[in-house]
Amino acid sequence: MTVRKLLTTAMMALPLAATTVAAMQLPGTAIVLTPSLGVSMQQDDNVDYRETGAVADTSVIVNPRLDVEAALGTAGDAVALRADFRRERYASESRLDNDEYEIGLDGSKIITRGQWLEVVARAAETVDGNNGANRFGDEPDMVKRQELGLAYRYQPGSLAIRAGLDRVSYRYRRLTESGENDDLRDRDEALASLHLGYAPNPDRELFLRLAAGAVVGKSSSALASTRDADLAEWGIGYRYRKRGLIDLRAELGLYALRYDDDTLADVDEPVHLLRLEFPLTPLTTLGFTSRKRFETTRLAGSPGYQSLENTLSLNHDFGRRLRLKVYLSSGTDTFVDSEIEDQVVEQGLALDYRTGRHLSLEAGASRESRERSRVAIGTEESAVVERAVVRVGLRYEM
């Protein structure tokens, strides 16, 4: 699942009700529990993301969640746990019914002043939101993701050093009647990273980021390559923030991938990130993000694709009761060593209306259009897929 689809899906899912029941501190402890519950309804006019024969259906989503925060004995030591469960049931397309979950643990331990150990452990199973890049009109996939990370952070004054080790595994299955597929290209990734920064004050930093690791590809199909590879990435960037004026992050780098299979092309692709946010008025914020990155793919014959996305967003607070978010995104997915290129346009909005102290109503809508071009011998073929989603929800806060 790509980082871009994860972000746009989050904006689409903003109307999902998340009912905060109450934050409860266990007596005699520093443990705070925050249980939550949400209910929403979604109308999807192309549940299978197909070019022709689009199927529309309505689903009901129930989303309980529990957040636990605990301060440990030493000041600054802390552990945070989140357990999130999402059950979706369709009115007609029961084959798409799914239960998703995410469990995450984040911990921080102070060694001495200015030195920390950090640990991250997460497990999740979700519907693959990357509809277009890995598939085009196929059945949707479920992906199980497991992550374990350990990092050391040292910040003596204006210097900032962070060294980390991360391991992530991906396991796929198809949402069909049988739920089976013989070639979904599971994979494991192991990555070592180093962040070197100079921050003369908390609002600005110049940094260098280095990462290297390995990918172990898996497939149950004897005809598919394993896609084992070595990867490396570097980036140099700058972060600047001035409250009430601007929030800026800019980064430029290079992504390199070396496959063991000689039939797959090696990758050396430039990447960048530009994120800018500033207030137009005390109640209105304008944001712009430009991101170019490389993603691995399960598409046969291609080692991966270069994804470019530009997103413009507007957030407005009408006062204590009504909040609005609007966004417009366009981009291109270009598959390396392939004749496929996707042009993607997406727009959406979300409304949050608080009717009183405890009750709020939420609604949102989004529309995505993806055009795929295939350059054949002497001709150019293209296909277009469009999908619209409308969601409403209810939230009650104690």
Enumerate the domain spans of the chain: 3-396
Burial of 333 (C-beta count, 10 Å sphere; 0-12/13-18/19+): buried
Q: What percent of the chain is modeled with pLDDT above 90?
A: 44
Answer for the pair 65, 85: CB distance below 8 angstroms, yes or no: yes
What does the pLDDT average to over 137-147?
A: 79
Q: In one letter, which amino acid is 102? A: E
Q: What is the reported pLDDT for 331?
A: 93
What does the pLDDT average to over 83-91?
A: 94
Q: Which helix (H) or strand (E) holds 5?
A: helix 3-12
Q: Report the alpha-carbon distance of residue 264 to residue 251 in Å, rounded.
A: 28
Answer for the pair 60, 41: CB distance below 8 angstroms, yes or no: yes
The pLDDT-based confidence of 220 (bands split at 50, 70, 90) is low
The pLDDT-based confidence of 38 (bands split at 50, 70, 90) is confident
Query: What string of DSSP letters covers 184-243?
Result: --EEEEEEEEEEEEEEEETTEEEEEEEEEEEEEEE-S-TTS----EEEEEEEEEEEEEET
**φ, ψ of residue 387 in degrees (nearest 5):** -145, 135
Answer for the pair 367, 348: CB distance below 8 angstroms, yes or no: yes
Q: Which helix (H) or strand (E) holds 133?
A: helix 131-134
For the entire predicted model, the pTM comes to: 0.80
Kindly state the tokens that stand for 291: 């991101």
Give me the chain's average pLDDT, please. 83
187: left (phi over 0), alpha (psi -120 to 50) or beta: beta
**CATH 2.40.50 matches 3-396:** no
What does the pLDDT average to over 132-153?
A: 78
pLDDT tens, position by position, 242-258: 988 899 999 999 999 88
Q: Is the pLDDT of residue 194 over 80?
A: yes
Q: Report the alpha-carbon distance of residue 266 to residue 253 in Å, rounded.
A: 17
pLDDT tens, position by position, 347-380: 999 999 988 777 788 999 999 998 888 765 555 6
107-143 burial by CB neighbour count: b if 16+ within 10 A, else e?
bbeeeeeeebeeeeebebbbbbbbbbbbbbbebbbbb
pLDDT tens, position by position, 256-282: 988 888 877 788 999 999 999 999 988
Q: What is the reported pLDDT for 75?
A: 65
Q: Report the alpha-carbon distance of residue 124 to residue 65 in Å, rounded.
A: 14
Kindly state the tokens that stand for 335: 């598959």
pLDDT tens, position by position, 96-133: 888 999 999 999 888 888 888 999 999 999 887 554 45
pLDDT tens, position by position, 157-177: 899 999 999 999 988 877 665
